[in-house]
Amino acid sequence: MSGRLLSPDELEASLRQIGAERYHSRHPFHKLMYQGNLNRGQLQAWALNRYYYQCRIPVKDATLIARLPTSELRRVWRRRLHDHDGDEPNTGGIARWLRLTDGLGLDRDYVTSMAGLLPITRFAVDAYVEIVRERSILEAIGSCLTELFSPAIIAERVGGMLANYDFVTAETLGYFTPRLDQAPMDAEFALDYVKENARTPEQQAAVLAVLRTKCDILWAMLDGLYLAYVDPRLVPPGAFVPADR
Amino acid sequence: MSGRLLSPDELEASLRQIGAERYHSRHPFHKLMYQGNLNRGQLQAWALNRYYYQCRIPVKDATLIARLPTSELRRVWRRRLHDHDGDEPNTGGIARWLRLTDGLGLDRDYVTSMAGLLPITRFAVDAYVEIVRERSILEAIGSCLTELFSPAIIAERVGGMLANYDFVTAETLGYFTPRLDQAPMDAEFALDYVKENARTPEQQAAVLAVLRTKCDILWAMLDGLYLAYVDPRLVPPGAFVPADR
């Protein structure tokens, strides 16, 4: 795996190449979504499952903050807790995601119960938290680098959904607007960190590998949705069954 | 979740009911396999991915042994290490599984590199090890109770594969023969343990929940195989692509 030492800019190019090949913007489920080819039940399934990811984000971030060695690093990373948990009730990313599930007609108690999750969603998202808990700090920070690629997928998703689904409003999609500023700021910090701190071929290989794994996590979440709700509609025992099919 | 206290026999009946509803013997991929409706490439994908599960079994068992409080319990559980890792080179379950991947025409270095695994396989199997590491000992032991249901699926799988695939021999399937004795012995111990030690409604609910999750893990592994190799053949970036399709 590990070859010669890359320059910081070569490392960045290799990271961006992984995104070009493996980010879930290339997944057929995403394409169906932004092109207007999903029905309301399929969008519900997506929002319901993605809610679990949103909920685990501050857990992941707090897990990392607990491992960071300096006040400076912890202060920077703490911003993410504010973004996702908010500064007062009904603010922050998780609360905004619930307005999305509301807008799609899902019962809020059902969503927050997590009873209808696809098991694949749970296993994939839990794998993300595990990376941040168990691997090196360099890899934990590197696993967030998918944020480099998120503005493009958000633009495609929001534009496509507003244009193609009459039951989706700008307010329903309010989650995404602040992410267009937050994600690049977060990604820039993480990118600078790994470019400065991955100083051996082995460390660089580890950062590249963890970004591949993080892409796999996001991809697997859409795999689960595709299998259960698009084709061949093989819903695992106990998982959400949409009313609109 | 937790209601009244069940009798030990009622608890057993509830556990068996979970198997009847959620064990992966009900998954379409298993049905295609034993009914002879997979090609060699699809069987390769199954054996390749399942190899990761086999490899993690002794890790899971050693993780549990490390947590068990008495020599007596550790001695009983140690048997599983012998079963899976063998008593000398080229014996034990993992080595026998490699004879299965050999027999299906897979390159052994490729199999053991794990390079072609479906990410879903990895996330699901790792979730199993996590359960045994993080949850109560009662739940860790309860998570093995899928072995209650394995003799029936093995009989169906071995009989169906020998009858339906001319490239599959009894020797190739040698992994499964000892499992027909080992699994019931292991399952009996685990079942007795949970019947004796799940003494509150909450503990019983936890045991039932962990068996559901373990069934979800096995199910998710077949979901991943179905999506990538049966329908709609959506192979994730970097995963195994069979030569026979």
Q: Is residue A172 part of a domain?
A: yes
Pairwise CB contact (< 8 Å): A213 & B119: yes
- Residue A144 is classified by DSSP as G
User: How far is the alpha carbon of B195 from chain A, nearest alpha carbon, in Å?
Assistant: 25
- Mean pLDDT value of segment A37-54: 98
Chain A positions touching B213 (Cβ under 8 A) are 119
Size of interface A-B (CB pairs under 8 A): 93
- Mean pLDDT value of segment A162-175: 95
Chain A positions touching B119 (Cβ under 8 A) are 124, 213, 216-217, 219-220
| Structure tokens belonging to residue B31 | 């049905």
Chain B residue with Cα closest to A29: B234
pLDDT of residue B174: 94
Pairwise CB contact (< 8 Å): A232 & B232: yes
Pairwise CB contact (< 8 Å): A223 & B226: no
Q: Is residue B2 part of a domain?
A: no
Pairwise CB contact (< 8 Å): A28 & B234: yes
Read off the CATH number of the domain in which B179 is found: 1.20.910.10
Please enumerate residues of A whose Cβ is less than 8 A from a Cβ of B.
Answer: 21-22, 26, 28, 119-120, 122-124, 126-127, 130, 212-213, 215-217, 219-220, 223-224, 226-228, 231-232, 234, 236-238
As a whole number, the mean pLDDT across chain B is 96
Q: Is residue A243 part of a domain?
A: no
Closest CA to A136 of A209, A216, A77: A209
* Percent of the residues in chain B that have a pLDDT greater than 90, as a whole number: 98
User: How far is the alpha carbon of B17 from chain A, nearest alpha carbon, in Å?
Assistant: 13
Q: How many CA atoms lie within 13 A of B67 on its CB side?
A: 17
Contact B55, B92 (CB under 8 A): no
Chain B positions touching A219 (Cβ under 8 A) are 119, 236-237
Rounded Cα distance, A3 and A190, in Å: 23
- Residue A25 is classified by DSSP as G
Q: Which of B23, B234, B235, B240 would you mutate first to test chain A, the one with the most A CBs within 10 A? A: B234
Domain that holds residue B140: 8-230
Q: Is residue B166 part of a domain?
A: yes
Residue A158, pLDDT > 80, answer yes
Q: Is residue B134 part of a domain?
A: yes
Q: Nearest CB to A223: which of B21, B28, B236?
A: B236
pLDDT of residue A3: 85
For residue A167, how many other CB atoms are within 10 A of its CB? 12
Closest CA to A124 of B174, B35, B172, B122: B122
Chain A residue with Cα closest to B19: A237
Compute φ and ψ for B223, nearest 5 degrees.
-55, -45
- Residue A229 is classified by DSSP as I
pLDDT of residue B132: 98
- Mean pLDDT value of segment A9-26: 98
User: How far is the alpha carbon of A121 from chain B, nearest alpha carbon, in Å?
Assistant: 10
Contact A100, A170 (CB under 8 A): no
Pairwise CB contact (< 8 Å): A119 & B216: yes
Q: Is residue B203 part of a domain?
A: yes
Contact B27, B219 (CB under 8 A): yes
Q: Which of B27, B118, B227, B229 would you mutate first to test chain A, the one with the most A CBs within 10 A? A: B227
Q: What are A188-236's pLDDT values in tens digits?
A: 999 999 999 999 999 999 999 999 999 999 999 999 999 999 999 999 9
pLDDT of residue B204: 98
pLDDT of residue B228: 98
For residue A139, how many other CB atoms are within 10 A of its CB? 21
Confidence check on the interface: ipTM exceeds 0.85, yes or no: yes
Chain B residue with Cα closest to A231: B232
In total, how many domains does chain A have? 1
Per-residue confidence band for A2, with pLDDT thresholds at 50, 70 and 90: low
User: How far is the alpha carbon of A63 from chain B, nearest alpha carbon, in Å?
Assistant: 16
Q: Is residue A2 part of a domain?
A: no
Cα–Cα distance list, A138 to A2, A76, B60 (Å): 16, 15, 27
| Region of residue A92 (left: phi > 0; alpha: psi -120 to 50; beta: else) | left
Q: Nearest CB to A124: which of B21, B123, B215?
A: B123
Pairwise CB contact (< 8 Å): B217 & A124: no
Residue B244, pLDDT > 60, answer yes
* Percent of the residues in chain A that have a pLDDT greater than 90, as a whole number: 98
As a whole number, the mean pLDDT across chain A is 96
Q: Is residue B237 part of a domain?
A: no
Per-residue confidence band for B3, with pLDDT thresholds at 50, 70 and 90: confident
Contact B180, B165 (CB under 8 A): no
Rounded Cα distance, A144 and B236, in Å: 20
| Structure tokens belonging to residue A200 | 């051996």
Chain A residue with Cα closest to B237: A22
Pairwise CB contact (< 8 Å): B237 & A219: yes
Residue B169, pLDDT > 90, answer yes
Rounded Cα distance, B130 and A187, in Å: 29
User: How far is the alpha carbon of B36 from chain A, nearest alpha carbon, in Å?
Assistant: 20
Residue corresponding to tokens 């899902």: A106
User: How far is the alpha carbon of A170 from chain B, nearest alpha carbon, in Å?
Assistant: 32
Answer yes or no: pTM beyond 0.90.
Answer: yes
Cβ neighbors of A163 (< 8 A, separation 6 or more) are: A36
Contact A121, A189 (CB under 8 A): no
Characterize B163-202 residue by residue with b for buried, 16 or more Cβ atoms within 10 angstroms of its Cβ, and e for exposed. eebeebeeebbebbeebeebbeebbebbbebbbeebeeee
Q: What are B44-88's pLDDT values in tens digits?
A: 999 999 999 999 999 999 999 999 999 999 999 999 999 999 999
User: How far is the alpha carbon of A131 from chain B, nearest alpha carbon, in Å?
Assistant: 11
| Omega of the bond leading into B69 within 30 degrees of 0 (cis) | no
pLDDT of residue B2: 58
Residue A245, pLDDT > 70, answer no
- Mean pLDDT value of segment A135-139: 98
Cβ neighbors of A43 (< 8 A, separation 6 or more) are: A33, A104, A161, A165, A168
Chain B positions touching A119 (Cβ under 8 A) are 124, 213, 216-217, 219-220
Residue corresponding to tokens 């290490």: B81
pLDDT of residue A25: 97
